[in-house]
């Protein structure tokens, strides 16, 4: 994997700020976009900016064809069929769609103690609104998933197990193969929050046998405001959409309608065609490089960084061992505020990381930790980035 | 948090000319308001100011460490000095308005009516305050020269 060659594809990395290069380590929040994705979106806006599936002119035919191709490419990206792919705005929308259309009163949902708010707050609201029951599975002391506890808690009353695949808190990847097997043995469905896993790992939904998978385009070099919900076709058929309107109905009269089949019945209104086309291009771009190569690259960088920083005075790295954390390093330094660290890294050397509670407020509040600094790596980060990060962190540590 | 008071004044004035500072002035106001009601600042503008200044001082690690560790104390000192000097300035303006620029009793005036601007300016240096003015000018020049020298040395080291 020629990282320097890959970096040339990213226009945002070619600039310098205050005379210094950019060290972007916030891909878990938003990844950068290669020019191929930008060009694909621009081509839509410049060459065929029509709406799909409605009009009969050349623009409309072209965009209909490209939109359909985009769906097929995304399906191939995760090993699914095209009619199992619903385009959404982000992972949050995908998760909310399933929660709000699948769950009924007294349904039991299991989730973990390290979930993004998007996989927790909807359950809290539904618990009050319609009376679902949700239970939190606590992690072990080493912050790994407690599969034994999960097996003990599972029973036939559980309707849905909705868990994060790779955590945005610390990069830890749950043993989803075992989780899915145990869940299915008890007749429960499984939904994965794949926001941090799909961009970084080879995913095959058929091999995993997962029932629903939601992920975001903007975390995999795709456009902002794009995402995908995968669902097994027969499950999508049974779900009722929670947002309907144009392009979700085959026909309507003043007092009735006939919904289209999935995925169209979930895609109300004019869609983000540029986004879908750009997302498909991003998937193609990533697959050309190879996600296993990307994952290997991130882990190698993370190992290097972790080895250098773990013994720094006052350093606390959140999460299990580096091999299980992918490309994410979440940490605190005693005596220095996490927001201060992030601001100083940015001011000193254009090192862009995130600080705060990373939308996992529940975990931080439960552990009485104010927040952390999170550096998240991706295919365009280099060893040079890692060294600059470590050097500047060394300087910041001296403030203690 | 106390630094928000100064931030509010500075950003409000700067915001007259630049939209960039109006948002900062708004955040500072929010912080000051919450401080007056004994609540913590939500916007963390005080933390941002602290971190940004510390980052700029990182070229001088000892100074950066001192500033970071003693930010609260330095903020209080800065705010108190600011308001004390504001009070003295207000007092000086009051005296100017009430008594004019001539000292009662001796009749010595800072600015003579009818004299040209240059001689009025040079008159300033004939008063006992001239010594203070000289000292201020010397301090400012020395600080500027020291800053320039340190900047030049740091750039030389980087190259």
Examine residue A31 and state whether it is found in any structural domain, yes or no. Answer: no
Examine residue A84 and state whether it is found in any structural domain, yes or no. Answer: yes
Question: How far off is chain B from A344, nearest CA to CA, in Å?
Answer: 5
The pLDDT assigned to A323 comes to 85
Which of B1, B42, B50, B55 is most worth mutating to test chain A (most A CB atoms within 10 A of its CB)?
B55
pLDDT digits (tens, 9 = 90+) for A318-375: 999 888 899 999 999 999 999 999 999 999 999 999 999 999 999 999 999 999 999 9
Task: Identify whether residues A164 and A282 lie together within a single domain.
Answer: yes
Cross-chain CB nearest to A347 (options B47, B52, B61): B52
Task: Identify whether residues A235 and A94 lie together within a single domain.
Answer: yes
Distance CA B23, CA B41 (A): 15
Chain B within 8 Å of A348 (Cβ-Cβ)? yes
The pLDDT assigned to B17 comes to 82
B52 and A340 in contact by Cβ < 8 A?
A: no
The pLDDT assigned to A207 comes to 96
Q: Last residue of a domain, which of A288, A307, A340?
A: A288
- Both tokens of A296, joined, read 């290997």
Task: Identify whether residues A120 and A137 lie together within a single domain.
Answer: yes
A347 and B56 in contact by Cβ < 8 A?
A: yes
Cβ-contact B110, B123 below 8 angstroms: yes
Beta strand segments in A265-396, E: 315-318, 328-333, 351-352, 354-356, 372-376
Which of B49, B68, B70, B159 is most worth mutating to test chain A (most A CB atoms within 10 A of its CB)?
B68
A355: which strand partners?
A373
Task: Identify whether residues A305 and A376 lie together within a single domain.
Answer: yes
Distance CA B106, CA B98 (A): 16
**CATH assignment at residue A299:** 3.90.1150.10
Any idea what DSSP says for residue A105? T
Strand pairing category for A189-193 and A158-164: parallel
Cβ-contact A206, A80 below 8 angstroms: yes
Cross-chain CB nearest to A344 (options B51, B61, B69): B51
The pLDDT assigned to B49 comes to 87
pTM of the model: 0.84
Task: Identify whether residues A200 and A283 lie together within a single domain.
Answer: yes
User: What would the DSSP string read from start to end of A70-84?
Assistant: HHHHHHHHTT--GGG
- Both tokens of A231, joined, read 């669902």
Task: Identify whether residues A332 and A200 lie together within a single domain.
Answer: no
Cross-chain CB nearest to B51 (options A339, A395, A398): A339
Count the neighbouring beta carbons within 10 Å of the beta carbon of residue A108: 18
Peptide bond into B59 cis (omega under 30): no
Strand pairing category for A249-252 and A227-231: unpaired
Instruction: List the domain range (segments joined by +) for residue A213.
Output: 37-288
Question: How far off is chain B from A348, nearest CA to CA, in Å?
Answer: 6
User: What would the DSSP string read from start to end of A146-197?
Assistant: -HHHHHHH--TTEEEEEEESB-TTT-PBP-HHHHHHHHHHTT-EEEEE-TTT
Distance CA B97, CA A159 (A): 82
Task: Identify whether residues A147 and A277 lie together within a single domain.
Answer: yes
Question: How far off is chain A from B57, nearest CA to CA, in Å?
Answer: 10
Examine residue A47 and state whether it is found in any structural domain, yes or no. Answer: yes
Percent of chain B residues topping a pLDDT of 70: 76
pLDDT digits (tens, 9 = 90+) for A125-134: 999 999 999 9
B48 and A395 in contact by Cβ < 8 A?
A: no
Any idea what DSSP says for residue B102? B
Cβ-contact A374, A330 below 8 angstroms: yes
Any idea what DSSP says for residue B17? T
The pLDDT assigned to B131 comes to 64
Chain B within 8 Å of A17 (Cβ-Cβ)? no
Examine residue A32 and state whether it is found in any structural domain, yes or no. Answer: no
The pLDDT assigned to B124 comes to 57
pLDDT digits (tens, 9 = 90+) for B68-78: 999 988 888 88
Any idea what DSSP says for residue A26? B
Q: Which residue has the tokens 């992030």?
A: A342
- Both tokens of B154, joined, read 């740091």
Task: Identify whether residues A19 and A43 lie together within a single domain.
Answer: no
Task: Identify whether residues A222 and A166 lie together within a single domain.
Answer: yes
Cβ-contact A385, A315 below 8 angstroms: no
Residue tagged active-site, from A29, A51, A221, A359: A359
CB pairs under 8 A between A and B: 38
Chain B within 8 Å of A391 (Cβ-Cβ)? no
pLDDT digits (tens, 9 = 90+) for B78-127: 888 888 888 888 888 888 888 777 777 777 776 665 556 666 566 555 55
The pLDDT assigned to B138 comes to 76
- The SS3 of residue B99 is helix
Q: Last residue of a domain, which of A288, A314, A332?
A: A288
| The CA-based dihedral angle spanning residues B127, B129, B133, B135, taken in that order and rounded to the nearest 10 degrees | 110
Task: Identify whether residues A209 and A320 lie together within a single domain.
Answer: no
**CATH assignment at residue A52:** 3.40.640.10
The answer to whether A359 is a known catalytic residue is yes
Chain B within 8 Å of A202 (Cβ-Cβ)? no
Distance CA A114, CA A338 (A): 19
Cross-chain CB nearest to B55 (options A339, A344, A398): A344
Examine residue A75 and state whether it is found in any structural domain, yes or no. Answer: yes
pLDDT of residue B66 exceeding 70, the answer is yes
Which of B43, B52, B58, B59 is most worth mutating to test chain A (most A CB atoms within 10 A of its CB)?
B58
Strand pairing category for A212-216 and A227-231: antiparallel
The pLDDT assigned to A109 comes to 97
Chain B within 8 Å of A356 (Cβ-Cβ)? no
Examine residue A152 and state whether it is found in any structural domain, yes or no. Answer: yes
Of the ranges A17-31, B36-50, B145-159, the best mean pLDDT one: A17-31
Task: Identify whether residues A178 and A325 lie together within a single domain.
Answer: no
Cβ-contact A102, A77 below 8 angstroms: no
Any idea what DSSP says for residue A20? E
Within 13 Å, how many C-alpha atoms sit on residue B148's CB side? Answer: 6
Number of domains into which chain A is organized: 2
Sign of CA dihedral A249, A250, A254, A256: negative
Cβ-contact A348, A395 below 8 angstroms: yes
Task: Identify whether residues A181 and A261 lie together within a single domain.
Answer: yes
Chain B within 8 Å of A340 (Cβ-Cβ)? yes
Q: How far is CA B142 from the centre of its chain?
A: 17
Distance CA A360, CA A371 (A): 9
Examine residue A347 and state whether it is found in any structural domain, yes or no. Answer: yes
- Cα separations in angstroms, B68 against A166, A222, B157: 36, 40, 24
Model ipTM over 0.90: no
Chain B positions touching A348 (Cβ under 8 A) are 55, 58
Ranges in chain A, pLDDT < 50: none
- Both tokens of A395, joined, read 């300087």
Q: Last residue of a domain, which of A237, A253, A288?
A: A288
Chain B within 8 Å of A83 (Cβ-Cβ)? no
Peptide bond into A254 cis (omega under 30): no
The pLDDT assigned to A301 comes to 96
Sign of CA dihedral B89, B90, B93, B98: negative
Question: How far off is chain A from B52, nearest CA to CA, in Å?
Answer: 6
Examine residue A142 and state whether it is found in any structural domain, yes or no. Answer: yes
Q: Among A155, A143, A167, which Cα is nearest to A320's? A: A143
């Amino acid at each position: 994997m020629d990282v320097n060659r890959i970096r040339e594809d990213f226009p945002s990395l070619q600039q310098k700020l205050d005379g210094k290069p950019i060290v972007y380590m916030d891909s878990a929040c938003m990844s950068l976009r290669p020019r191929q994705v930008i060009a694909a979106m621009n081509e839509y806006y410049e060459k065929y900016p029509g709406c799909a599936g409605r009009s009969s002119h050349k623009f409309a035919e072209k965009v209909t064809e490209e939109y359909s191709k985009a769906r097929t490419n995304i399906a191939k990206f995760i090993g699914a069929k095209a009619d199992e792919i619903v385009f959404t705005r982000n992972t949050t929308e995908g998760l909310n769609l399933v929660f709000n259309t699948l769950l009924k009163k007294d349904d039991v949902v299991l989730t973990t103690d390290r979930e993004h708010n998007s996989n927790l707050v909807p359950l809290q609201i539904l618990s009050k609104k319609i009376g679902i029951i949700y239970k939190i599975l606590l992690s072990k002391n080493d912050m790994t998933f407690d599969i034994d506890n999960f097996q003990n808690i599972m029973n036939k009353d559980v309707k849905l197990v909705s868990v994060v695949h790779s955590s945005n808190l610390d990069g830890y990847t749950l043993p989803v193969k075992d989780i899915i097997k145990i869940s299915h043995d008890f007749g429960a469905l499984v939904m994965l929050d794949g926001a941090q896993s799909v961009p970084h790992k080879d995913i095959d939904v058929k091999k995993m046998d997962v029932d629903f998978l939601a992920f975001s385009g903007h975390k995999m070099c795709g456009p902002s405001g794009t995402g995908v919900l995968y669902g097994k076709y027969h499950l999508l058929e049974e779900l009722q959409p929670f947002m309907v309107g144009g392009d979700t109905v085959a026909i309507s009269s003043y007092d009735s309608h006939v919904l289209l089949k999935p995925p169209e019945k979930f895609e109300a209104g004019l869609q983000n065609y540029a986004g879908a086309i750009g997302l498909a291009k991003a998937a193609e771009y990533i697959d050309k490089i190879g996600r296993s190569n990307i994952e290997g690259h991130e882990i190698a960088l993370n190992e290097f960084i972790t080895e250098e920083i773990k013994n720094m005075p006052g350093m606390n790295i959140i999460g299990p061992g580096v091999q299980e954390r992918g490309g994410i390093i979440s940490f605190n330094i005693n005596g220095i505020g996490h927001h201060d660290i992030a601001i100083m890294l940015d001011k000193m050397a254009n090192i862009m990381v995130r600080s705060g509670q990373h939308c996992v407020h529940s975990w931080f509040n439960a552990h009485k930790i104010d927040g952390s600094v999170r550096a998240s790596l991706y295919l365009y980060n280099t060893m040079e980035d890692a060294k600059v990060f470590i050097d500047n962190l060394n300087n910041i540590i001296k403030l203690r | 948090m106390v630094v928000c008071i100064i931030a509010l004044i500075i950003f409000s004035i700067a915001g007259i000319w630049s939209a960039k500072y109006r948002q900062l002035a708004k955040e500072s106001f929010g912080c000051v308001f919450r401080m007056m009601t004994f609540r913590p600042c939500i916007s963390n503008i005080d933390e941002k100011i602290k971190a940004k200044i510390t980052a700029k001082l990182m070229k001088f690690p000892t100074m950066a460490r001192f500033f970071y560790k003693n930010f609260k104390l330095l903020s209080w000192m800065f705010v108190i000095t600011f308001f004390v000097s504001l009070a003295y300035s207000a007092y000086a303006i009051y005296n100017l308005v009430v008594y004019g620029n001539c000292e009662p009793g001796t009749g010595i005036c800072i600015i003579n009516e009818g004299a040209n601007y240059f001689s009025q300016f040079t008159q300033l240096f004939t008063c006992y305050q001239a010594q203070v003015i000289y000292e201020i000018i010397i301090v400012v020049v020395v600080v500027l020269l020291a800053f320039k020298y340190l900047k030049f040395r740091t750039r030389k080291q980087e190259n």
